Structure 1
Amino acid sequence: MGRDDAAAPQRGRIERVGATRERILVTAERLFAEHGVFAVSNRQIGEAAGQGNTAAVGYHFGARTGLVRAIVRRHAEPIERVRERMVAVIGDRPDLRDQVSCLVRPSTEHLAALGVPSWYARFSAQVLADASLREVVLDEALASPALRRLLAGLHRCRPDLPAEVVDERDGMTGQLIVHLCAERERALAAGTATPRATWRDAATGLIDAITGLWSAPASSAPGDRTNTTSDGGVG
């Protein structure tokens, strides 16, 4: 028996394990997107993925955070490739819209490539709604060199605003991206109308909105008492 023949059983086992992990990841992403991360049990995921062993999910991924992290990493690589390319093209150009484009388009291009139906945008919205799981996603995102470079570029080119306003608009930006993408993905899966015809057009609308958001002056710092007119209206 040759060396290749002796290694064949091991290769076969590795391929089977890889295929099992992939089925579990795809199934978990769909179920989490549709029902919520903590509304679905490992048993339900295993059964839907065709696993007779009810402990298969825990065996391959450990705790729920391990499964969520694996799903995020499964999508992170293609998104990172697009972002690296875009960031390299704009370089250190101090243009707010270019920087925002590099923030938005890698994700929308990836969602377009997934086809219909897809579940990653809705999965992301479900995960980011949970404080403990949000940290998992943020840790994975900030491991991206291209994203760290992009965020530094955004910091340099956005208007000079109070720190609390910057924090507020950071949150608004994330919410806009995550939830607009999730709503569009849901509509496409259901076959209902969407405001924009393509993911590329949807990204353009998002870039317009976020650029406008960051360009707007700050009327007052969060927490300041709202001014009112004598007749009770807002001034």
Structure 2
Amino acid sequence: EFAAQPSQDDRLQYIHGKLSAGSSKTFSSLPHAIQMQMLLDRDAFGNVQVSRIETEKLLADMVADRLRVLKTQGRFKGKFSALCHFFGYEGRCAAPTNFDADYCYSLGYTAAALLNAGKSGYIASVRNLTRPAAEWQPGGIPLTAMMNIERRHGEDKPVIRKALVDLEGKPFQTFAAQRDRWALEEAYLYPGPIQYFGPSEVCDRVTKTLELEQS
């Protein structure tokens, strides 16, 4: 029924008719452009396409509206001009762990070293990741070594092969060995909150899948 509404304004009215009074008030408090973005088509799983909702502009507009109110009350005399930047998943993800930070820093440093050496056409890589960061092994992989030929739009194209789940790899094999039990039981592995200070075995832990891959 929602999709059958003839216009966006009609869709808005339809939505308000389905919401509780409190939810309708909250939805109405959003800028009109954000309301429209929330009514966009869903993805293949029926979820709102969050990455297409400009939340960064929503926050900037809400701050600007609040400052306009404060200015009329004589409580704000400055200027406000926001320049938004879209971070996508980076803006919605959890805080990075020590391992994440060390890994990204190492990749960036390696990329700079390759560039400084005039080595174009290489992908920065870091190996030995389950060891302490001081023992990691940076390097460069030729881009051509990662490519294979695939048929795209009727033509053979050199592309980097997608990294799909390896059904023969240890992470999946570990899952396969447990899935029948997990279908019936709750068996969560809870490592606790992210730690930044303390024993290395607590604050510098690698991911479980990487641990399995390199064990």
Place the TM-score, normalised by the shorter chain, in its bin: under 0.3
More helix by share: 1
TM-score (norm 2): 0.23
Q: Which has the higher contact order (CA 8 A, sep 6+)?
A: 1
Larger Cα-atom Rg: 2
TM-score (norm 1): 0.21
